[in-house]
Amino acid sequence: MTALTIFFGSLFIIVVRGLIDFAFDGKFHIDWPLNLKLAGVFGSIWFIAVFAWGMIVGIRSQPVLDILDEDPEESALLKKPLNGFVAMEFFWLILNRTYIVFIAPEGPYGWQAHGPVTNRDLNFFQPYQNMVDNRDFMRDLASMQKLSRLRGGFFIDRAAISTIEVNDRPKWGMGGIPESGRIVLRLTSNKTREFILLGSVYPDTIRDKIILAPPEGVTSIR
C-alpha cells in the first residue's frame, strides 16, 4: 500500500510540474515512459526499504517472543509476584528508550521494551504496564532475567547502588507523555541512571520497593 502511495504520489508531482511549466511557458510536455519508470523505481525502492525494516524488526523481536511464549512449571515460579514499573530513559541528549524494570531481591532487572518514540502515541507504554500488572508474569523471574540479557537490557546488583533519589518534577521534553516523576539510581561506580516513571504511579512507593531490605550503605534522598 505504501509503495502504491509513493508511485501515484510521484505521478501526481509529475503532472503538477507539467501544469506549472504550461502556465509559465505555454508548453505541456511529459515524458510518460521515462516518468512511469522513475515512479516505479521510487515505489520499488520504498517497498524494499519497508520490507527490509520489517524483517529486521521481526528478527530482533523473535527472541522476546520466544521468551514470552515459554510456559514454565508452577514449581519454577515465585510464590509472590515481584514489583516493577515502566520507565523511560534519555540518552544522547534527545533520544529515549523505554524499559520494564523488574524489582528483584538481588537488584533491578531492566528489559528494553521499546526504542526511541515520539509523542504521536501518548499511551504507547500501556501494553508494558499491562505486563507489570500481570501477577502471573511477574512471578516468572527466569523470564525477567532472560529479557534483561537481551540487547539494551541491564541488571544492577543491589550492592552497586549507593543512593536512590526521587525527583517529582516533570521531565523536560516528554511532549505530553504521561509521567509521574523520576527515580535516580546513583551507583558506587559514580554512574547515574535516571528513570522517568511512565503512567500514574507513586515515585516514593517505587523507591521504597527498590530499597526494601537493602544492603548496608544504601540510602534514600527525597
Secondary structure of residue 84 in the 3-state scheme: strand
CA distance 101 to 140: 14
pLDDT at 19 over 70: no
- Tell me the range of 9-18, 46-55, 162-171 where mean pLDDT is highest: 162-171
The beta-carbon contacts of 178-185 under 8 Å, at least 24 apart in sequence, are: 178/122, 178/123, 179/88, 183/85, 183/87, 183/207, 183/210, 185/108, 185/156, 185/161, 185/210
CA distance 202 to 170: 13
Q: Enter the CATH code of domain 74-221.
A: 2.30.29.30
Residue 207, pLDDT score: 94
Secondary structure of residue 194 in the 3-state scheme: strand
pLDDT at 26 over 60: no
Global pTM exceeds 0.85: no
Contacts with 72 (C-beta within 8 Å, 6 or more apart), sequence order? 140, 142, 143
- Tell me the range of 35-39, 54-58, 75-79 where mean pLDDT is highest: 75-79
**What tens digit of pLDDT does each residue of 92-118 get?**
888 999 999 999 999 999 999 999 998
Pick the more confident residue, 195 or 45: 195
pLDDT at 147 over 90: yes
**What tens digit of pLDDT does each residue of 50-59 get?**
444 444 444 4
Secondary structure of residue 61 in the 3-state scheme: helix
* Domains of the chain by residue range: 2-68, 74-221
Residue 57, pLDDT score: 44
Residue 3, pLDDT score: 46
Residues 61-65 have a mean pLDDT of: 82
Identify whether the C-beta of residue 163 lies closer than 8 Å to the C-beta of residue 186: yes
Residues 18-27 have a mean pLDDT of: 56
Among 72-86, 122-136, 204-218, the range scoring the smallest mean pLDDT is: 204-218
Residue 65, pLDDT score: 87
Mean pLDDT over each residue of the chain, to the nearest integer: 81
Residue 55, pLDDT score: 46
Residue 65: which of 147, 134, 4 has the closest Cα? 147
Residue 39, pLDDT score: 62
121 by Cβ neighbours in 10 Å (0-12 / 13-18 / 19+) ranks as exposed
